[in-house]
């Protein structure tokens, strides 16, 4: 049984005030009976405040990006060890906004994945196709290529300590979500690709869906066989909607 995970990617949103209000609100809404995992991914400047608010909390802390390098003269970059030092136990790698806006290639993403693992962080590897690629029937080829870059460099055993997030680029922030079946199809292909290398690991790795997940569509998405929770953008900025999505994940066991 894979434990569902609901992770909130705040992207470049927030402030000290929002961090305090949101985390206090989330904490107040948790139920001791909850079995799904919950995680927040604030921007770098708010990680230490988040850590101080989440002492003894069930809410895990993660970051949105990291450097491929361990330390040195890399102005503006943040290393995996720094994230760990700031209380993070996870980090996104290869989010489509990084791939598109910062030119991150599959190779760079694979390096980031390994840098995260080496520091003991859980990498959440994001993959997904653009609208143009979907319309040209390239969805599975694109996602498979993105996953293969990490499989080739880190190996299937490394995936056992990671999470994959399928985020169709055309569904991110657009209000246009993939249908549960469209998402399930790609999730099944991702799992099959991992299972072809190691059936046990392929069956264990959590594959999250991301892209316009909201309180009112989460339950039907999470009900799909190969969907193990969600990576939530906009709806993670309100405690009420993020908790409603988290509730849906708890009911999807």
Active site members: 95, 167
241 binds ligand 13P (CB under 6 A): no
Residue with token string 């980090």: 91
Nearer of residues 93 and 150 to ligand 13P, judged by Cβ: 93
Burial class (CB in 10 A: 0-12, 13-18, 19+), 15: exposed
Tell me the C-alpha distance between 57 and 55, whole Å: 5
The answer to whether residue 142 forms part of the interface with ligand 13P (CB under 6 A) is no
- The count of chain residues that interact with ligand 13P, using the rule CB under 6 A, is 14
Which residues touch 40 (CB under 8 Å, ≥6 apart)? 7, 8, 10, 22, 23, 26, 50, 59, 60, 61, 62, 236
Site string for ligand 13P, 164-183 (x = CB under 6 A): ---x----xx----------
What Å distances lie between residue 29 and 3, 59, 169, 227, 245, CA to CA? 19, 11, 31, 24, 12
Q: Which stretch binds ligand 13P (CB under 6 A): 55-63, 103-111, 153-161, 211-219?
A: 211-219
Selected binder of ligand 13P within 42, 168, 229, 233 (CB under 6 A): 233
CA–CA dist 107, 115 (Å, integer): 12
DSSP codes, 149-162: HHHHHH-HHHHTT-
Tell me which of 232, 239, 248, 249 binds ligand 13P, using CB under 6 A. Answer: 232
Near ligand 13P in 54-93, by CB under 6 A: none
Give yes or no for residue 213 binding ligand 13P (CB under 6 A): yes
Residue 252 touches ligand 13P, criterion: CB under 6 A: no
For ligand 13P, the binding residues (CB under 6 A) are: 9, 95, 167, 172-173, 210-213, 231-235
């Amino acid at each position: 049984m894979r434990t569902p995970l609901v992770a909130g990617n705040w992207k470049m949103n927030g402030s000290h005030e929002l961090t305090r209000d949101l985390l206090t609100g989330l904490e107040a809404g948790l139920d001791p009976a909850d079995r799904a995992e919950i995680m927040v991914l604030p921007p770098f400047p708010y990680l230490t405040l988040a850590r101080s608010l989440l002492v003894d909390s069930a809410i895990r802390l993660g970051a949105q990006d990291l450097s491929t390098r361990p330390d040195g003269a890399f102005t503006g970059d943040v290393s995996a060890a720094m994230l760990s030092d700031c209380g993070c136990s996870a980090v996104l790698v290869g989010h489509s906004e990084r791939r598109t806006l910062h030119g991150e290639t599959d190779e760079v993403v694979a390096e980031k994945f390994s840098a995260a693992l080496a520091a003991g962080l859980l990498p959440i590897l994001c993959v997904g196709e653009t609208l143009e690629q979907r319309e040209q029937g390239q969805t599975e080829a694109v996602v498979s290529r993105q996953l293969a870059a990490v499989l080739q460099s880190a190996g299937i055993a490394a995936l056992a300590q990671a999470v994959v997030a399928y985020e169709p680029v055309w569904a991110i922030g657009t209000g246009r979500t993939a249908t549960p079946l469209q998402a399930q199809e790609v999730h099944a292909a991702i799992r099959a690709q991992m299972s072809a290398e190691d059936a046990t690991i392929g069956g264990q790795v959590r594959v999250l869906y991301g892209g316009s997940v909201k309180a009112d569509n989460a339950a039907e998405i999470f009900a799909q066989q190969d969907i193990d929770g969600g990576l939530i953008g906009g709806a993670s900025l309100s405690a009420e909607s993020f908790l409603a999505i988290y509730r849906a994940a708890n009911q999807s066991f």
